[in-house]
Amino acid sequence: MFVNSNLPEPDNNEDSFDSVLRPQKWEHYIGQERIKKNLSVIIEAAKKRNESPDHLLFYGPAGLGKTTLAHIVAQESGAEIKITSGPIIEKSGDLVALLTNLNDGDFLFIDECHRINRYVEEYLYSAMEDFTLCLMLGKGPMAKTININLPHFTLIGATTRLDLMSSPLRSRFGAIMQLNFYESNEIEKIIKRSARILNVEIEPEAIKQIGQRSRFTPRIANKLLKRVRDFAQIEGEGIITDKITTHALDFLEIDNLGLEPSDKKLVEIIIKKFNGGPVGLQALCAAASEEKNAVLEIYEPYLTQMGLIKRTHKGRIATELAYKHLDIKCPKNQKPLL
């Protein structure tokens, strides 16, 4: 049995692929059912009151659909959405320019909002609460304060590190929602839908295998689907078979749990250099030559989700499952966590 479609092939460009694969309506967005229901209620209630929805904050690991949710919320509200990211807003003038160019009912989406400059962030407080900007002009005794009225807008924030957001900013969001890793059946539905959109034939066994190695993350699932499709076109007959999928993913060094060499390296360091742990974050980053944020945002969430490492008050510990998966014998005097 194959999945196929008569939809046209999009341009051969990664950005256009991502745009085409991104769901535009609730019925196309697979997974995160509780959040979808919650957002639907918020949007419909705001429409009935003829108001803008409350400010929304999405958090969770990268690739789970935070940006897509923001687009759908704006689409379902019948409003425009303007997109930026925290690191781009370097000065207060950058934020003022964004806010003063909004219209009533518009949405402003700020990705990586935990990285907004703290000084700039303070201007957001009155903007989010009272829809006004309080600006200080000049310095010293000649300084003046002016207030600029803003249109009633909705701010949608997205972050992978909720703990790095300041409490004053976090408290001004009307709804805070956590996106979790997807279920296997949801990932397989996403792969099947993406295959139809990309107009590629794929066997059910291949769908299952890509799903198993996609780290329960839609962005990674779509990325792997595109890479396997390349192998199917060059080394096969254009059909994504189970055999082609195994060959492609093995060539890309992605194992049956979705681990890449860098993931395995991190776990091996905990086992071999630190006797299975516990090891502190700084020591682990130094030994692995990795940035702290990379470990916290890229590697650790999935390794923890899969039960390969565990965080304790003393540091990171490799579990018994990690020893088995990496085929490393555990020393007799050491009992790893189950």
- Please report, in angstroms and rounded to a whole number, the separation of the first and last CA atoms in the chain: 40
Which residue is associated with the tokens 């107009």?
Answer: 199
> Encoding tokens for residue 249?
């993913």
Is residue 66 among the annotated active site residues? yes
Q: Which of 219, 229, 264, 316 is catalytic?
A: 219
The helix (H) or strand (E) run that includes residue 194 is helix 184-197
Q: Which of 154, 160, 241, 319 is catalytic?
A: 160
194 burial type by CB count under 10 A (0-12 exposed, 13-18 middle, 19+ buried): buried
Is residue 145 among the annotated active site residues? no
Looking at residue 256, what DSSP letter applies?
T
Is residue 230 among the annotated active site residues? no
Name residues whose C-beta falls within 8 Å of residue 137's C-beta, 6 or more positions apart in sequence: 143, 144, 145, 146
Q: Which of 67, 159, 217, 245 is catalytic?
A: 67
Integer angstrom CA distances of residue 120 from 88, 123, 152, 171, 289: 11, 6, 20, 17, 32
Integer angstrom CA distances of residue 200 from 3, 11, 191, 268, 283: 8, 14, 11, 38, 46
b/e string for 27-58 if b means 16 or more Cβ within 10 A? eebbbbeebbeebeebbeebeeeeebbbbbbb
Residues, the chain, total?
338
Is residue 111 among the annotated active site residues? yes
Integer angstrom CA distances of residue 298 from 102, 210, 292, 295: 33, 19, 10, 6
Is residue 312 among the annotated active site residues? no
Q: Which of 68, 106, 111, 213 is catalytic?
A: 111
**DSSP states of 274-326:** STT--B-HHHHHHHHT--HHHIIIIIHHHHHHTTSEEEETTEEEEBHHHHHHT
278 cis-preceded (ω within 30 degrees of 0): yes
> Encoding tokens for residue 3?
């999945």
Q: Active-site positions?
A: 66-67, 111, 160, 219
